Amino acid sequence: MKIIKTLTAILLVALLALSMSAAVFADGAEAPAAASSQADSENTVRDYKAIAAALIIGIAAAAGAIGMAMTIMKTIDGIARQPEAASNIRSAMMLGLVFIETAIIYALIVAILVVFVL
C-alpha cells in the first residue's frame, strides 16, 4: 500500500511538472511573421523532445530507485533471518541490482537518442 502511495505521488509530481513546462519553454522574443510558423514548429518539437527525454529518465530513475531500495531492504531482512546464507543472499542481491541499473542505463540511452537522433 505504501508503494502505491509513493508511485501515485511521483506520478502527480511528473504531471505537475509537465503541465508547467509551457511556462518554462516560453520565449519572449517575437519572430517575423514569415519565419514565425517554421521556427515555432521547430522550437515546439525541440521542447517536446526535451520533455520526453526528461520523463523517460525521470520515471526510469524513480522506478529503479524504488526497486533498488526494496531489493536492499529484502536482502537485509533475509540476512537477518539466516546469517549463515549471507554470502549467497548478497551475491544474488548484487546481480539483481545490476539488472535494475542496466534498465536505467537503457532509459538514459533512449533519452539521448530521443534528443539527438529523432
**CATH code linked to domain 41-118:** 1.20.20.10
Torsion over CA of 41, 45, 47 and 49, rounded to 10 degrees? 180
Estimate the crossing angle of helix 33-81 against helix 2-19, to 10 degrees: 170
pTM above threshold 0.85: no
Which of the 8 DSSP states describes residue 84?
G
Residues 59, 13 contacting (CB under 8 angstroms): no
- Name the residue ranges covered by the structural domains of the chain: 41-118
| Tens digits of pLDDT across the chain (118 residues) | 677 777 676 766 666 566 655 555 555 555 555 556 666 777 788 888 888 888 889 999 999 999 999 999 999 999 999 999 999 999 999 999 999 999 999 999 998 988 888 7
